[in-house]
A and B are shown apart, each in its own frame.
Chain A
Amino acid sequence: MSLETVRPTLPAAPGPSWARRNLFNTWYNGLLTTVLGGLLFAGIWLGARAVAGFDITILEVNLRLFMVGEFPRDQLWRPWLSGGFLAAAIGLAAGLIQAGSRERAARSGLPFTPTTPRDVVRRLAPVIGLVVVLLLLTRTITPTLLTVVVAIVGIVFNVSGRRLHSRWGWVGVGALVVAGYLSLAAFGGVGWEDWGGLHLNVFLTLAGLLFAFPVGILLALGRRSALPVIRALSVTFIEVVRGVPLIAVLLFGAFAIGFLLPEEVRPSQVTRMLIAITAFEAAYVAEVIRGGLQAVPHGQTEAAQSLGLPGRKTMALVVMPQALRASIPPMVGQFISLYKDTTLVAILGIGELLETSFVVNSQPDFLGKGLFVVTLAFAGLIFWVGSYTMSREARRLERRLGVGER
């Protein structure tokens, strides 16, 4: 009996264009495409006209309110300094990842294509576009100059990160992030309870995920634990939190924590929101990681055991790294939805970006002018740029890691 090699069907040679295959393949699809395309164009055109036809002074004078909320205006050097530290951290991290990939490629003998500046610009195009829009709204040259300085800092750290490949590099990234936080809050600065605007949204997203991640890993492991009590507690927490809308968790955090704790130890509104967001995200992260754990074939555990690894090391060195890799794409999806969900803290009157885009319309200069369309479109643009960039990166990451292919 001969063995027959079954080959996967390869994609056919390039035939009709994508549009012809997908949008105009039948007469009714063609009609649908034409009508919907027309409507889409009209919508965009009308929206753009509405926005352009309105006075954008409201954005110019309130730009700082949109960006950093009520942060004291004589302390604005702090967000800039912090931005410099964060740019350095991001630049360094990206550089280290590059160095790591190059090393791995060299070890396995595979070709390595470094990320060129052109790639970076292409990938960050929406963000760069947004920064240009924001800078066009400023009235002095200082923000532009500071942005250039921050960008240069990021590039310098990126270049040095590419040459450096050591664990200390990652310690440096952590130190830069901590420095970024301390430059805002420490030494007479402003704690996060008084942050606002886009700054607060970004902080809640990053801190929420940072705190939720370890809790989520523990919950995911707890759910697979052999100990019934731990498993039951994890399952209960995960299912109760996932069965409740985020807004309910936030309200519970805002009202219940206020009543249950005495005044001396009662956390601020923003801290309560952060606790609620952490609890909520931890449940979702746990499920994502559990999915990752299930994706690791059982043979991996058996192989590790046959090498004589104890259970804890099997998990830490063999199973968890593979599980986390498989969890990265859904985790980014979770990250994006958290970024948008941070606007929900507006229901408690906390001045994040969306709330700000409402309240600026109460200022005497803009009263009764119906500028909601301008401010909401502005806030929407900012959120869209962030979410779109992240989801593009997620897709790229998914391809690179080969998740879904093996």
Chain B
Amino acid sequence: MKRDRLTALIAVTALTIAACTTAAGDTTTTGGPGATGPVGGGGSVLAAVMDRGSINCGVNNAVPGFGFVDADGNHVGFDIDFCHALAAAVFGDPDAVEFIDLTAEQRFTALQSGEIDVLIRNTTWTSSRDGTLGATFLTTTFYDGQGMMVRSDSGFTSIDDMADTTICVLSGTTTELNLATRMTGIGYTPSTFDDNGQIQAAFLEGACDGWTSDKSQLAGVRSAWPEDDGGPEALTILDETFSKEPLGPAVRDGDAQWAQIVDWVVIATIQAEEFGITQDNVNGFADTENNDIRRFLGLEITDAEGNTSVFDAGLGLPADFAAEVVAAVGNYAEIYDRNVGPDTPLGLERGVNALWTNGGLHYPPPHR
């Protein structure tokens, strides 16, 4: 009798453990290339989004300028504005978006499981993320890169000068690895910290000769440097960029239509800047004779025979989606200046994020 009970207990335990391990196995393997099709009923993401009436946008809630929560509980930032732009394009309502705060660890799982429709969370486009995490990366919204900040009076003008120095860096980040790669052959001592606040304290005490991080972060730190330590002028960010960090939106693999929609919404903001269309003047183009702009804004076009038509690119979006986007969040320059530009606490110059016509990297494919 007692033995029977023991057997039963062992059997039940074994079954439970088997069930648990299978479930755990599912979660890990779904992350592989197997997870291609859109999850969530197997339908298209656009159809699911239209049904729901809002877009689930995976964002960050703690990156200054790019995605944070203000005192009234609203999400604000550069990445956040692209979520609003997408909602404006799909629904004509920039507020038809649910923000889902994600940690770095969670973000790709949330994307694969269909919990979010799009991930706009300062995520670097890399080959392995494209290849093994089931994500499709789209037009880059922000070109970042790792840089080095030193004291202006230190005399360092390039990273090669910095032999036998102590360089402060966040622990456990790719930043640390990039630093090691860049400093190959140059003797240096890395000093690692858990957060930027600690590095700032160490830097103020003179414990670091250099501070390396993404340039956008360094610029933010520099612009807020305490006045009693000389203010921003006391620090210099060296020109060299020694890693590439293209940040942009990502969607799930397997739904080309949705990927194209997100892609062209981002492109529309850049194109609007190129055309000089802003949030204020977007409604003033009704009489323009520039057919490129008419097509872009979904205005009627009269061809050589006198027939009028409205250009529809066939993306699954309303013909005037670009006009809605610009009316909602403005063009790329406006989004940039409002959130991270020179007049904000981050104080980032456009640099490589300028239009191609100004020597930057943003080159929108034509809308026709």
* Interface set of A (CB-CB < 8 Å, partner B): 61-62, 64-65, 69-73, 196, 228-229, 231-233, 235-237, 240, 252, 254-256, 258-260, 262-264, 266, 269, 347-351, 355-356, 358-365, 367-370, 372
B234: Cβ under 8 A from any A Cβ:
no
B69 at interface, CB cutoff 8 A? yes
Q: Evaluate whether A362 and B62 lie within 8 angstroms (CB atoms) in the complex, with A368-B221, A369-B224, A370-B200 already known.
A: yes
List residues of chain A with CB within 8 A of the CB of B195.
372
Q: How far is the CA of A314 from the CA of B215 in the complex (A)?
A: 72
- Given contacts A236-B16, A260-B23, A360-B69, list 14 more A-B pairs with CB under 8 A: A64-B73, A232-B12, A233-B12, A240-B16, A240-B17, A256-B26, A258-B109, A259-B113, A348-B103, A349-B61, A351-B61, A351-B101, A362-B63, A369-B224
Contact of B71 among A61, A254, A351, A358 (CB under 8 A): A61
Q: Does B225 interact with chain A (Cβ within 8 Å)?
A: yes
Interface size on B, residues (CB 8 A): 53
Chain A residue with Cβ nearest B217: A368
Residues of A within 8 A of B196 (CB): 368
Q: How far is the CB of B46 from chain A (nearest CB, A)?
A: 14
Give the shortest distance, in Å, between A292 (CB) and chain B (any CB): 24
Q: Which of B24, B73, B102 contacts A70 (CB 8 A)?
A: B73
User: How many angstroms between the C-alpha atoms of A4 and B40 in the bound complex?
Assistant: 80
A72 to B95, CA, bound (A): 14
List residues of B (86-103) whose CB comes within 8 Å of A's CBs: 100-103
Question: Known contacts A229-B8, A262-B40, A362-B62: does B197 contact A349 (CB below 8 Å)?
Answer: no
* Complex contacts, A252 vs chain B, CB 8 Å: 24
**Minimum CB distance partner of B68 in chain A:** A362
Interface residues of B (CB under 8 A from A): 4-5, 8-9, 12-13, 16-17, 20, 23-24, 26-27, 30, 39-41, 48, 61-65, 68-74, 100-103, 106, 109-110, 113-115, 195-197, 200-201, 220-221, 223-225, 344-346
Going nearest first, the 9 A-B pairs with the smallest beta carbon separation are A70-B73, A368-B224, A263-B40, A349-B101, A362-B68, A232-B9, A258-B113, A364-B345, A359-B62
B27, A256: Cβ atoms closer than 8 Å: yes
Cα distance A264–B73 when bound, in Å? 27
**B43 nearest in chain A by CB position:** A263
Selected from B8, B115, B345, the residue in CB contact (under 8 A) with A266 is: B115
Most A Cβ at <10 Å: residue of B72, B220, B344:
B72
Once the chains bind, are B27 and A363 in contact (CB under 8 Å)? no
User: A255: which B residues are within 8 A, CB to CB?
Assistant: 27, 106, 109, 113
Q: How far is the CB of B243 from chain A (nearest CB, A)?
A: 22
* Max chain B C-beta neighbours (<10 A), residue from A269, A349, A351, A367: A349
Q: Are A368 and B220 in touch, CB under 8 angstroms?
A: yes
Chain A residue contacts of B27, Cβ below 8 A: 255-256, 259
